[in-house]
Amino acid sequence: MWSSQTKLIISLLVLAGAIYLLNKFSAVIAPIVLAVILAYILPPLVNRLQKFTHLPRMLAILLVYLLMFVVIGGILWLVIPLLVTQVGRLELNFQDILGQLETLFSGQVQIAGITFDGREIFNRIADTLQQAFQPLVGQTFDVITSVVSSLVWVVFVLVISMYLIKDSKSFIAWIEQLVPPPYRQDYNMLLTEIDNIWSAFFRGQLLLALIVIVIITALGFAVGLPYALAMGVLAGFLEFIPTVGHAVWVILGGSIALLSGSNWIPLPNWAFAFTLVGLHVIFEQFDINYLIPRIIGRRLHLPPLVVILGIIAGAALAGVLGMVLAAPTIASLRVLGRYVYALLFDLEPFPETVGTQPLPPPDIMWWRKYRERFTAHREGEAPETSSD
């Protein structure tokens, strides 16, 4: 048996090797993450198809992928031309917006009796926005370029995700065998809780994004919002970024409404912008209090400040992919942190299961043994002897 010092040294060496490999092969991380996401989303469809048709699993997987390509291709064929046109116009309009803002701040600005140089204010705002979004945009395009534009990476993602779906049960069973027997029940409970988090996020978030796209696009066309389809698709994507997504849409949509006005409602631009922001606030409450609890549930319920800080950290580490995965990652770390905290302070890791399920296997942690021996010695009892 290895001594405690040897175990610590080996663990540190393994950790250092893992960090080195992650740094050395960092270009593969994003495609693997995308493959894992596909492998997590598609198994329910594969299982249902296999149940009703009794096809071999690999053939069912191929049919599901084929169906996915047909659906996505049909949507892109119908929507992309109009979306590209609107996005192109939106980009030109955004340049006009910047020009109008620069003209607005070209002179002296007086606030509370103090005179400021408007051009200096505009330059500072523009520089701040550029510094804030340049790393995000750069990393985003790096991921998109390395995964989408390269046929090799696309094939890699598809093949890895297919085999993950095919061998997922055996892979999970293999991982479980690596867990020491006294901790397997804890492992299974943690795995179930974390699986519920990611399942709610991926499958529920996709459905939620589609619903939001339909609602916002229909609302945009109803009130005459310019580029309604593009703004609806943007709202769907921003739904993957909790808390921050609604604020980003309100700022962008309100700016477009303020500078462009409605396509058909005879309202002043400021009144139309105010109306649009008010409608989105109402929709935001409907989204938070009705859609999200019923589609995703409350497993990802996190404090807004924690979500914002996680999104910033995720954007700095992995661009858009890091922003999207920030919320479920934090929720999973919260579950693991709660478990470690409970073990450190000799608390019940799963208090909600006490009395409803069998208790965990006998504990073998050294600090709990030490506490029992210390308590017995303090009370004047003979400490129990053990073979270890």
Distance CA 203, CA 333 (A): 20
- How confident is the model at residue 139, as a pLDDT? 47
Record the pTM: 0.62
Q: What is the number of other CB atoms lying within 10 angstroms of the CB of residue 44? A: 12
Which pLDDT tens digit goes with each residue over 227-280?
888 888 889 888 887 777 888 898 888 888 887 888 888 888 889 999 999 999
- How confident is the model at residue 369, as a pLDDT? 46
Q: Are strands 108-111 and 114-117 parallel, antiparallel or unpaired?
A: antiparallel
Residue 40 phi, psi (nearest 5) = -90, -30
Q: How confident is the model at residue 214 (pLDDT cuts 50, 70, 90)?
A: very high
Enter the tokens of residue 152. Answer: 């090799």
Which pLDDT tens digit goes with each residue over 91-144?
555 556 556 656 655 666 555 566 666 666 666 655 654 554 444 444 444 444
- Between these two residues, 301 and 291, which has the higher pLDDT value? 291
Enter the tokens of residue 10. Answer: 């080996």
- Between these two residues, 340 and 84, which has the higher pLDDT value? 340
Distance CA 367, CA 375 (A): 12
- How confident is the model at residue 124, as a pLDDT? 64
Rounded to a whole number of angstroms, the distance between the first and last alpha carbons of the chain is 12
Residues 6+ apart with CB under 8 A from 267: 261, 275
Q: How confident is the model at residue 376 (pLDDT cuts 50, 70, 90)?
A: low
- How confident is the model at residue 276, as a pLDDT? 93
- How confident is the model at residue 280, as a pLDDT? 93
- The answer on pLDDT for 362 being more than 50 is no
- Between these two residues, 370 and 231, which has the higher pLDDT value? 231
Q: How confident is the model at residue 213 (pLDDT cuts 50, 70, 90)?
A: very high
- Give the burial string for 252-288 (b: 16+ CB within 10 Å, else e): bbbebbbbbbbeeeeeeeeebbeebbebbeebeeebe
Enter the tokens of residue 313. Answer: 């950290």
- How confident is the model at residue 278, as a pLDDT? 93
- Between these two residues, 115 and 60, which has the higher pLDDT value? 60
Distance CA 213, CA 239 (A): 9
Burial (CB count within 10 angstroms: exposed 0-12, middle 13-18, buried 19+), residue 149: exposed
Tell me the C-alpha to C-alpha distance, in Å, between residue 294 and each of 204, 319, 331. Answer: 9, 29, 18
Q: How confident is the model at residue 382 (pLDDT cuts 50, 70, 90)?
A: very low
Distance CA 269, CA 276 (A): 10
155-159, 234-238, 273-277, 283-287: range with lowest mean pLDDT: 155-159
Domain ranges for the chain, please list them: 182-369
Q: What is the number of other CB atoms lying within 10 angstroms of the CB of residue 239? A: 23
C-alpha R_g of the chain: 27
7-16, 103-112, 349-358, 379-388: range with lowest mean pLDDT: 379-388
- How confident is the model at residue 354, as a pLDDT? 46
Distance CA 194, CA 236 (A): 25
- The answer on pLDDT for 13 being more than 60 is yes
- How confident is the model at residue 279, as a pLDDT? 94
Average pLDDT, the chain: 75
- How confident is the model at residue 82, as a pLDDT? 66
